[in-house]
Amino acid sequence: MRDVTVDELAVALDEGALVIDVREHMEWQRGHIPGTRLLPMSQLGARIGELDRSTRLYVICQSGNRSGAMTDALRGMGFDARSVQGGVNAWLRAGRGVATGTAA
């Protein structure tokens, strides 16, 4: 698995990267990185067809545990996936902002 830092993620987001947030909807509402797409871990299997295997994916959760597991699973299915080290917690510790609300 290839992990990326939140600084690397910020650059990727600026370049239009697809970032998948695998947390659940309530966690998303409390705070998510602007520009990320909500795709809860519990729904990933059923919604895998929504993802393009030719596009690099960045996967994030709250702390990095779920994103690591989901990144391994996605890579096993042929995706070029990267897990964000430390997740949203690391994003916040780096002084970066989050959005709140229900828009996913």
Q: What is the pLDDT of residues 19-68, one digit of tens each?
A: 999 999 999 999 999 999 999 999 998 999 999 999 999 999 999 999 99
Q: Residue 103 pLDDT > 90, yes or no?
A: no
pLDDT, position 101: 84
List the domain boundaries for the chain. 2-93
Q: Where are the alpha helices (DSSP H) in 1-104?
A: 6-14, 25-30, 44-47, 65-76, 87-93
Q: What is the pLDDT of residues 79-98, one digit of tens each?
A: 999 999 999 999 999 999 99
Fold of 2-93: Oxidized Rhodanese; domain 1 (3.40.250)
Q: Is 60 exposed, middle or buried (0-12, 13-18, 19+ CB in 10 A)?
A: buried
Measured at the CA of 33, the angle between CA 2 and CA 40, to 5 degrees, comes to 70
Spatial separation of the C-alpha atoms in residues 21 and 34, rounded to whole Å:
11
